[in-house]
C-alpha cells in the first residue's frame, strides 16, 4: 500500500502499488492524480475516508469495502453507490464491522438503506452568522435599503420567520452599533448612512467577502512540506497536520504521515518542514473530526432491532455436553441473512446478545434502557447508561446530569457521551443513587438547565469562534496569508468577553442556537424524557462485577477522553515540573528593572508605530475608562501627569482608573524608559510587543560558536585540566566541584578515579568523607538496570541545603494502621519516620519491630503457640540497599558504597540451609538470625528527607536554611544548577542529563527568567537548536577567543559531565571503531576537539586525527591518566593496526611510556 507521502521518499514501479491513500490531508493535486489513475484502471484500489463520498466521478468501480458502520444511512448509500456507477448498474459492497456490537448497527443500516429510509433533511432556522455574511456580500456590490433587504432575506426558507428586531441587531453589529472601547479592535465591514437610510460597505468589504466567505469552519490545518533543497523538481507538499498536533510537536520529533516516517526540521506560523526519516520510531498524528453523531431516528431503528433480536434470542441445551447454547429464531436468522450477514456474523451476534443478557438481565433497546453500575480499578463507581438514541441526545442529557450532581452533591461527575449511551464516574459511596435521581428531569426544567450550562462549555467557545468567523465580524484571513487558528481563538476570546457585556448580541444568540439546534437534538431529548416520565420508556438497573460487553466499547472511549482532556502528554517524571504556577515563578524571580531589560530603541520604534494608529469609532467624553485605555494602547511608556494633561481629565478620577486597569492586569507600572524619571505606565500588549522586539534584536546580535569551541569552553568552565594542572585544591575545592556537578549520576568508581582527580589536585577519598561526615554533602543512589541490590549503582552528590533533594522524597509521613502488613522495605522506611540516623544493627532492630507489629500472626492449631514470621538479616540488607538505589536512604559515610563497588559487601547467608517461615515466639532464635556487620553496612544510615536534611551525624543544628518545597523553587534550582554546570541550557544538554520533565518541563522557568532579563535566549552554539538560554556574562566568555580554553590535552572518562561527545555532540567519523559512552573508556581532547578514544577493556585505541604531533601529545596524556586511575593496562590495537608488530602507533605509545609486551603495548604503574 502506497500513500502520497511515500512517493516523495522513494519511487515505486506500477506493479508494486496495490493501493493508495486518499484523505483530506493529501494535497489536492495528489488526490486528483489518484482519482485519474483509478478511473483509467491503472490503480486497483484506493483506501479513502469520506473524501471520495460526494461530488467526484470515480468511473467504473467493481466493489466498495465499508469498514465499520457508516456515519449515516445516506452516507452508506453514497459510498455503496460508487460501485458500478452507471445507468442500469448494480452496486456491490462488502461491510466489515470492527466490533461485535457494530453488527447490530450494520444490520440496521443495511435494512434502512434497502428501504430507502434516509435521514430527513434539516434546514437551519435563522442562522444569524450566515445573514451577516450575506449582508456584507450584498452591500459590497451595492448599497442596501434595510426594509428591502429584510423583505428579500425573508424570502428564503431559513429566514422565513426572522424577527425584525434580530435583523436590526445583525445589521447594527455589522455597521458599528456596538462602538465601545471593548469593540475598538473589531472594525465592522459596513456602515449605516443614517441620512440616506442605506447600508454601505466600508473599504475592503468586498475583498473580505471573497477571501473569508463560506460556511465551512477553519480547522487550523498546517501544511507539511519538504525543504526546498530536498524537493527537487517534484512537489514539496507532504500532507497536513492538525494545529493541536503541531502544538504538541517539537523540532526533531519523528512522526508518521501517510505510510512513511518524517522528522520535523522546522515549524513556522503555518507550515511544518520535514525530512524523510525511514526506519525511525515515530508518533502517529491525530486529526479532530466533525462526526455529529447518530441521528435520533436511526437510533430508534437500531434500538428497535436490538429489542427484536432480544425477543428472538433463546437458549437450548447442546446435546453433546448439556451446555445451554444460545440461538435465534429461524425467522430472525432468515432476516439477518437477507440483510447480508454470514453465519460467522450471526454466530458472533448471538453470543454477544447472550453475554449481554447474562450480565445485565436484558438487552437495551428503544423502549428499555439499562443503567449499569460497576467499579473501576481505583474503587470508584462507573454508571453506564445503555441507550440507542445517539450522541446528539446523550450529550445535552449528560450536561444536565453533571449540573444536577454538582448542585445536589457538591462534586463534578466525569461524564462521557457516545452514540450508545452515557458513562458517569462517581466516587465511592454514591453508587446507590436512584435512577430517577440521576436520569429523570422535568422536561422544561431540563431545557433551562441545558441552556444555562451551554454558555460556559468548551463547545460554546469553539462554536462562537466559528460563528464570528462565518459572520465576517472576525475575518479568518488577511491579505496574502491565513490567520493561524491560535490567533483566531485569542481574538475570539477577546470578542466573547466584549460581547457578554451587551444584551442579545447576535453572535451570542447564534452560537446558542447552533449548539442547541444543530449540535444537540433537544426536541428528541424532550421526547425521550417525556417517555421516561410517562413510563412508556423504562430503565432497567443492574450491578455487575465487570463491565458488560456493550459497556466495554463505551469505557474505552471514556478512558481515552479523560486521558487527553485532563493529562498533558509528557514523560511520567515531568508531572511535577509541568504543574508550576506562573504567578509563583514571578514572585520567586522578583521584580525587574524593565529599563535594563527592554531595548530603548525598540521602545522608540514601537511608540512611533503606535502614534499612527486610528480607530473606527469615537469615544464619548464621559467614557473615561475607555479613553484612558485607548491612550495606553497608542503610546509607549507614559506618566500619569502626561496622560492627564493630554486628555484633560480630572486627576483623581484618572488615577483611580489607572489603578483599576492595573488591578485587572491591563496596565503595568514600573520604570521602562531610562531617561524619564518617576513611575511610568505601559499597556500590557504594548509591553509584550516591545519585549518581543527587544529580544529579537538581542538574539540577532549574537553569533553562535562552533561545537568544538563550546566543548573547549566547557572543559575550562568545569576546571578540567591535564595531570598536574587541576583547577581546584583541598576540601573547599572538592565542595565547589560537587556544587557544580550536583545531581549528576555516575558510577561510584568513576567519581573517585576519574571525575574528582582531574578537577581537584591530589584528590584523596578522605576529602569526600570529610564533607559527607560534616553534613555538608549528601549522596543519593540510583539504579536503572535490572541488577540486584547487592551490585553498585550510580551515585549523585548534593549540597545538603539543596532544594533539588526534595525531588527524591523521604520516608512515609503517615503511620500504617495495625491491620496493614508491611514489606521489609516499608518497615525500614518506617524507622526513619521521626528522623534520626542509625547503625545497621540498630536500624535492623527498629525495622524488625515495626515489621512484626504489622505482620500476620498465626496460632499453631496443635499446641496453641503464637507463631511470628521470621526476620531475615539478608533480606534486611537487600531491602536497605534497594531503598538506597531508589534514592530514599543515604549514609553518613561513603565507605559502604566503596565496599559495594569493590565487591567487599560480604553478605552472609543464613546458617540454616532452609529457614522455616514461622517460628515460636518463645524459641531461642525466634527473633531471627543475626550476622556480623559487613563493610557495606557500616556508617550511620538516614533518610533523604524532603528538606534536604539527612540528620546523619546526630547534630543538633540543621544543615541548611529553611526552604520552600514547591515545584517552582525546584524548577529554578534545576535551571541554576544546569547554568552553573554548562553555562547554557539547551535541549541536547537536557537530554544528556536525563532531567525529569526534559526541556519542555523546564521551559516555563527559562522563559520567565528570560522575560525578567536574568537570561538571554538565542542561538549560542551551532547545532543545539533555536531555544538556548544563558546569562550575558557567559555569552561574552563563550565568544571570547582570548580565554585560552583548554589549550593542553586533557583525558576524561567517557561518561564525565564535561564530555559532550557521543551525547550532545556527535562522534567524529572514522572507520575503525564505534565509540560509546561507557564508564572506563577514555576520551582525550585537544582544544575542545576529541583526538583519541581508548577502551582499556577491549584493549583498543582509535585516533580522530592524523596529526602526529596531536596524537603524540594525546598518547602522553592518556598514559598519565591511566597511571593515575589504575594499575597496568595493555592495548593490542590502534586504528585497526596490531600493536604486536612495529609500526608508527607503537612508536607513539612508546614515547608516552608504554612498553612492548606479548599482549601489545603495556603501561606499568
Residue whose C-alpha cell reads 469615544 in the numeric block: 619
pLDDT at 967 over 60: yes
Query: pLDDT tens across 707-736, in order?
Result: 999 999 999 999 998 888 888 999 999 999
592, 1012 Cβ separation under 8 angstroms: yes
- Quick one: pLDDT at residue 572? 25
Query: Coil, strand, or helix at residue 751?
Result: helix
The architecture (CATH level 2) of 6-115 comes to 3-Layer(aba) Sandwich (3.40)
User: 994: left (phi > 0), else alpha (psi -120 to 50), else beta?
Assistant: left
- Quick one: pLDDT at residue 370? 95
Q: Rounded distance, CA 648 to CA 650, Å?
A: 7
Q: Rounded distance, CA 682 to CA 187, Å?
A: 24
Q: Rounded distance, CA 102 to CA 314, Å?
A: 21
List the beta bridge partners of residue 481. 478
Give the list of residues 6+ apart from residue 614 with CB closer than 8 angstroms, or none.
Answer: none
Write down the domain spans for the chain: 6-115, 221-276, 598-689, 722-965, 1049-1163
Is 1.10.10.10 the CATH number for 598-689?
yes
Q: Which residue has the higher pLDDT, 1003 or 248?
A: 1003
Give the HSE-up count for residue 609: Cα atoms under 13 Å, Cβ half-sphere.
10
Give me the sign of the Cα torsion angle 145, 150, 155, 159: positive
- Quick one: pLDDT at residue 718? 93
Residue 1040 pLDDT level (bands cut at 50, 70, 90): confident
Query: pLDDT tens across 929-960, in order?
Result: 344 567 788 889 999 875 534 444 333 343 33
For residue 754, the 8-state DSSP code is I
pLDDT at 157 over 70: yes
CA distances from 219 to 468, 519, 708 (A): 14, 17, 45
Residue 225 pLDDT level (bands cut at 50, 70, 90): confident
Query: For the range 654-662, what are the long-range contacts, defined as Cβ-Cβ under 8 Å and sequence gap of 24 or more?
Result: 654/624, 654/628, 657/624, 657/625, 657/628, 658/628, 660/625, 661/625, 661/628, 661/629, 661/632
Q: Rounded distance, CA 757 to CA 764, Å?
A: 8
pLDDT at 556 over 80: no
Query: pLDDT tens across 864-894, in order?
Result: 676 666 788 888 888 899 899 989 999 999 9
Q: What is the mean pLDDT of residues 1113-1124?
A: 90
Strongest mean pLDDT among 85-99, 600-614, 627-641, 1006-1020: 627-641
Q: Rounded distance, CA 488 to CA 475, Å?
A: 8
Residue 534 pLDDT level (bands cut at 50, 70, 90): very high
CA distances from 52 to 37, 75, 112, 242 (A): 14, 11, 22, 20
- Quick one: pLDDT at residue 27? 63
The C-alpha cell of 199 is what? 447600508
Output the CA angle 517-518-523, nearest 5 degrees. Answer: 40
Helical (H) or strand (E) element with 296? helix 296-312
Give me the sign of the Cα torsion angle 861, 862, 863, 867: negative
pLDDT at 570 over 50: no
Query: pLDDT tens across 307-320, in order?
Result: 999 999 987 544 45
517, 125 Cβ separation under 8 angstroms: yes
613, 634 Cβ separation under 8 angstroms: yes
596, 563 Cβ separation under 8 angstroms: no
User: 145: left (phi > 0), else alpha (psi -120 to 50), else beta?
Assistant: beta
Residue 103 pLDDT level (bands cut at 50, 70, 90): very high
Residue 573 pLDDT level (bands cut at 50, 70, 90): very low
- Quick one: pLDDT at residue 966? 67
* Mean pLDDT (the chain, rounded): 82
Identical topology for domains 6-115 and 598-689 = no
Of 820, 822, 829, which Cα lies nearest the Cα of 851? 822
949, 963 Cβ separation under 8 angstroms: no
Give the list of residues 6+ apart from residue 325 with CB closer than 8 angstroms, or none.
Answer: 315, 316, 317, 318
- Quick one: pLDDT at residue 91? 87
939, 892 Cβ separation under 8 angstroms: yes
pLDDT at 327 over 90: no
Q: 660-669, 778-787, 1144-1153: which has the minimum mean pLDDT?
A: 778-787
- Quick one: pLDDT at residue 649? 93
Residue 907 pLDDT level (bands cut at 50, 70, 90): very low
Q: What is the mean pLDDT of residues 573-602?
A: 56
For residue 433, the 8-state DSSP code is -
pLDDT at 235 over 90: no
Q: Which residue has the higher pLDDT, 1019 or 974?
A: 974
Q: What is the mean pLDDT of residues 259-268?
A: 78
Query: pLDDT tens across 21-43, in order?
Result: 777 666 667 778 888 888 888 88
84, 92 Cβ separation under 8 angstroms: yes
- Quick one: pLDDT at residue 535? 92
pLDDT at 132 over 90: yes
- Quick one: pLDDT at residue 959? 38
pLDDT at 922 over 50: no
Q: Which residue has the higher pLDDT, 807 or 758?
A: 758
Q: 428-432, 655-659, 749-753, 888-892: which has the minimum mean pLDDT?
A: 428-432
The C-alpha cell of 866 is what? 503464637
Q: Strands, DSSP E only, in 354-512?
A: 368-375, 381-386, 414-418, 421-426, 477-478, 481-482
pTM for the whole thing?
0.58
- Quick one: pLDDT at residue 868? 65
pLDDT at 436 over 90: no
Residue 392 pLDDT level (bands cut at 50, 70, 90): very high
Q: Rounded distance, CA 909 to CA 790, Å?
A: 13
- Quick one: pLDDT at residue 286? 58
- Quick one: pLDDT at residue 726? 86
Q: What is the mean pLDDT of residues 1071-1099?
A: 93
Residue 770 pLDDT level (bands cut at 50, 70, 90): very high
249, 264 Cβ separation under 8 angstroms: yes
Amino acid at each position: 500500500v502506497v500513500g502520497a507521502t511515500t512517493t516523495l521518499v522513494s519511487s515505486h514501479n506500477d506493479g508494486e502499488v496495490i493501493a493508495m491513500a486518499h484523505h483530506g490531508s493529501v494535497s489536492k493535486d495528489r488526490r486528483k492524480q489518484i482519482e485519474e489513475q483509478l478511473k483509467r484502471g491503472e490503480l486497483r484500489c484506493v483506501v479513502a475516508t469520506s473524501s471520495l463520498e460526494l461530488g467526484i466521478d470515480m468511473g467504473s468501480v467493481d466493489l466498495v469495502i465499508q469498514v465499520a458502520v457508516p456515519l449515516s444511512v445516506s452516507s452508506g448509500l453514497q459510498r455503496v453507490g460508487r460501485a458500478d456507477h452507471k445507468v442500469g448498474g448494480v452496486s456491490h459492497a462488502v461491510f466489515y464491522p470492527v466490533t461485535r456490537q457494530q453488527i447490530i448497527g450494520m444490520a440496521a443500516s443495511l435494512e434502512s438503506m434497502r428501504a430507502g429510509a434516509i435521514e430527513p433533511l434539516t434546514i437551519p432556522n435563522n442562522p444569524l452568522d450566515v445573514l451577516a455574511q450575506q449582508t456584507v456580500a450584498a452591500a459590497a456590490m451595492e448599497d442596501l435599503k434595510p426594509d428591502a433587504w429584510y423583505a428579500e432575506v425573508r424570502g428564503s426558507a431559513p429566514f422565513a420567520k426572522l424577527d425584525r428586531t434580530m435583523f436590526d441587531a445583525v445589521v447594527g453589529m455589522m455597521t458599528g452599533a456596538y462602538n465601545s472601547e471593548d469593540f475598538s479592535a473589531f472594525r465592522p465591514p459596513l456602515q449605516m448612512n443614517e441620512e440616506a437610510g442605506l447600508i454601505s460597505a466600508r473599504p475592503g468589504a468586498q475583498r473580505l467577502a471573497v477571501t473569508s466567505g463560506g460556511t465551512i469552519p477553519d480547522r487550523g490545518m498546517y501544511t507539511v512540506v519538504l525543504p526546498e533543497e530536498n524537493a527537487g523538481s517534484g512537489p514539496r507538499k507532504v500532507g497536513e497536520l492538525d494545529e493541536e498536533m503541531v502544538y504538541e510537536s517539537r523540532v526533531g520529533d519523528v512522526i508518521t504521515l501517510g505510510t512513511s516516517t518524517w522528522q520535523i526540521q522546522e515549524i513556522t506560523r503555518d507550515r511544518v518542514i520535514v525530512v524523510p526519516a525511514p526506519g525511525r520510531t515515530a508518533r502517529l498524528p491525530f486529526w479532530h473530526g466533525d462526526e455529529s453523531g447518530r441521528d435520533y431516528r436511526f437510533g430508534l431503528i437500531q434500538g428497535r432491532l436490538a429489542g427484536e433480536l432480544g425477543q428472538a434470542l433463546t437458549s437450548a441445551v447442546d446435546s453433546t455436553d448439556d451446555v445451554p447454547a444460545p440461538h435465534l429464531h429461524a425467522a430472525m436468522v432468515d432476516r439477518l441473512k437477507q440483510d447480508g450477514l454470514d453465519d460467522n456474523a450471526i454466530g458472533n451476534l448471538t453470543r454477544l446478545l447472550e453475554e449481554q443478557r447474562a450480565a445485565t438481565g436484558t438487552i437495551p433497546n428503544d423502549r428499555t434502557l439499562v443503567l449499569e453500575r460497576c467499579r473501576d480499578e481505583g474503587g470508584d463507581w462507573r454508571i453506564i447508561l445503555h441507550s440507542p438514541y445517539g450522541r446528539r441526545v446523550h450529550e445535552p442529557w449528560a450536561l444536565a446530569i453533571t449540573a444536577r450532581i454538582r448542585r445536589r452533591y457538591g462534586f463534578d461527575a466525569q461524564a462521557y457521551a457516545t452514540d450508545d449511551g452515557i458513562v458517569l464516574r462517581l466516587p465511592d459511596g454514591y453508587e446507590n443513587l436512584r435512577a430517577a435521581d440521576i436520569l429523570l428531569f422535568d422536561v422544561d426544567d431540563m431545557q433551562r438547565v441545558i441552556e444555562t450550562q451551554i454558555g460556559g462549555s468548551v463547545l460554546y467557545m469553539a462554536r462562537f469562534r466559528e460563528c464570528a468567523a462565518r459572520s465576517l465580524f472576525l475575518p479568518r484571513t488577511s491579505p496574502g496569508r491565513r490567520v493561524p487558528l491560535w490567533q483566531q481563538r485569542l481574538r475570539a476570546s477577546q470578542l466573547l468577553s466584549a460581547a457578554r457585556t451587551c444584551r442579545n448580541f447576535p453572535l451570542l444568540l447564534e452560537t446558542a442556537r447552533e449548539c442547541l439546534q444543530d449540535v444537540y437534538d433537544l426536541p428528541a431529548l424532550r421526547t425521550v424524557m417525556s417517555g421516561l416520565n410517562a413510563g412508556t420508556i423504562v430503565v432497567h438497573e443492574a450491578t455487575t462485577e465487570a463491565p458488560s460487553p456493550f459497556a466495554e466499547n463505551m469505557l474505552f472511549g471514556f478512558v481515552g477522553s479523560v486521558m487527553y482532556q485532563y493529562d498533558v502528554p509528557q514523560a511520567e517524571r515531568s508531572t511535577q515540573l509541568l504543574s508550576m504556577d506562573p504567578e509563583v515563578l514571578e514572585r520567586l524571580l522578583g521584580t525587574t528593572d524593565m529599563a535594563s531589560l527592554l531595548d530603548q530603541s525598540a521602545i522608540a520604534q514601537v511608540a512611533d508605530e503606535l502614534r499612527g494608529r486610528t480607530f473606527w469609532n469615537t469615544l464619548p467624553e464621559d467614557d473615561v475608562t475607555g479613553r484612558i485605555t485607548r491612550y495606553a494602547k497608542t503610546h509607549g511608556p507614559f506618566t500619569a501627569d502626561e496622560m492627564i494633561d493630554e486628555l484633560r481629565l480630572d486627576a483623581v478620577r484618572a488615577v483611580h482608573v489607572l489603578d483599576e486597569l492595573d488591578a485587572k492586569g491591563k496596565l503595568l507600572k514600573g520604570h521602562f524608559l531610562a531617561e524619564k524619571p518617576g513611575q511610568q505606565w505601559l499597556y500590557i500588549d504594548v509591553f509584550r510587543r516591545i519585549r518581543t522586539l527587544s529580544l529579537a534584536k538581542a538574539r540577532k546580535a549574537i553569533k553562535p560558536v562552533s561545537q568544538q569551541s563550546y566543548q573547549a569552553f566547557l572543559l575550562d568552565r568545569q576546571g578540567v585540566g591535564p595531570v598536574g594542572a587541576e583547577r581546584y585544591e583541598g576540601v573547599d575545592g572538592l565542595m565547589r566541584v560537587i556544587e557544580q556537578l550536583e545531581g549528576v549520576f555516575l558510577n561510584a568508581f568513576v567519581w573517585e578515579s576519574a571525575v574528582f582527580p582531574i578537577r581537584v589536585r591530589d584528590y584523596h577519598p578522605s576529602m569526600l568523607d570529610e564533607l559527607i561526615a560534616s553534613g555538608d554533602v549528601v549522596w543519593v543512589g540510583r539504579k536503572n538496570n535490572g541488577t540486584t541490590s547487592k551490585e553498585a549503582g550510580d551515585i549523585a552528590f548534593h549540597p545538603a541545603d539543596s532544594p533539588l533533594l526534595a525531588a527524591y522524597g523521604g520516608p512515609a509521613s503517615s503511620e500504617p494502621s495495625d491491620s496493614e502488613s508491611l514489606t521489609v522495605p516499608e518497615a525500614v522506611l518506617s524507622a526513619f519516620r521521626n528522623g534520626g540516623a542509625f547503625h545497621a544493627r540498630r536500624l535492623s532492630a527498629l525495622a524488625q519491630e515495626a515489621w512484626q507489629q504489622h505482620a500476620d500472626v498465626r496460632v499453631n492449631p496443635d499446641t496453641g503457640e503464637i507463631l511470628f514470621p521470621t526476620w531475615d538479616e539478608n533480606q534486611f540488607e537487600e531491602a536497605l540497599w534497594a531503598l538506597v538505589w531508589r534514592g530514599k536512604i543515604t549514609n553518613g559515610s561513603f565507605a559502604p558504597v566503596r565496599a559495594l563497588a569493590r565487591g567487599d559487601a560480604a553478605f552472609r547467608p543464613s546458617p540454616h540451609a532452609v529457614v522455616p517461615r514461622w517460628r515460636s515466639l518463645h524459641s531461642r532464635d525466634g527473633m531471627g538470625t543475626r550476622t556480623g556487620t559487613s563493610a557495606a553496612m557500616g556508617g550511620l544510615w538516614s533518610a533523604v528527607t524532603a528538606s534536604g536534611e539527612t540528620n546523619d551525624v546526630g547534630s543538633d543544628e540543621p544543615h541548611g536554611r529553611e526552604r520552600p518545597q514547591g515545584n517552582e523553587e525546584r524548577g529554578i534550582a534545576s535551571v541554576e544548577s544546569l547554568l552553573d554546570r554548562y553555562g547554557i541550557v539547551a535541549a541536547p544538554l537536557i537530554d544528556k542529563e536525563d532531567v525529569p520533565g526534559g526541556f519542555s518541563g523546564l521551559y516555563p522557568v527559562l522563559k520567565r527568567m528570560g522575560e525578567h532579563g536574568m537570561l538571554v535566549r538565542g542561538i549560542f552554539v551551532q547545532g543545539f537548536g533555536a531555544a538556548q538560554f544563558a546569562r550575558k556574562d557567559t555569552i561574552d566568555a563563550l565568544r571570547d577567543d582570548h580565554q585560552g580554553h583548554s589549550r593542553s590535552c586533557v583525558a576524561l572518562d567517557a561518561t564525565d559531565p564535561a564530555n559532550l561527545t557521543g551525547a550532545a555532540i556527535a562522534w567524529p567519523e572514522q572507520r575503525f571503531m564505534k565509540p560509546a559512552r561507557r564508564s572506563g573508556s577514555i576520551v582525550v581532547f585537544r582544544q575542545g576537539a576529541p583526538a583519541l578514544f581508548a577502551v582499556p577493556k577491549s584493549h583498543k585505541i582509535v585516533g580522530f586525527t592524523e596529526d602526529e604531533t596531536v596524537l603524540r601529545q594525546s598518547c602522553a596524556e592518556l598514559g598519565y591518566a591511566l597511571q593515575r586511575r589504575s594499575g597496568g593496562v595493555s592495548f593490542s590495537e590502534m586504528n585497526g593496526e596490531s600493536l604486536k608488530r612495529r609500526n608508527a602507533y607503537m612508536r607513539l605509545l612508546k614515547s608516552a611510556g608504554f612498553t612492548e609486551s606479548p599482549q601489545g603495548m603495556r603501561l606499568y604503574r
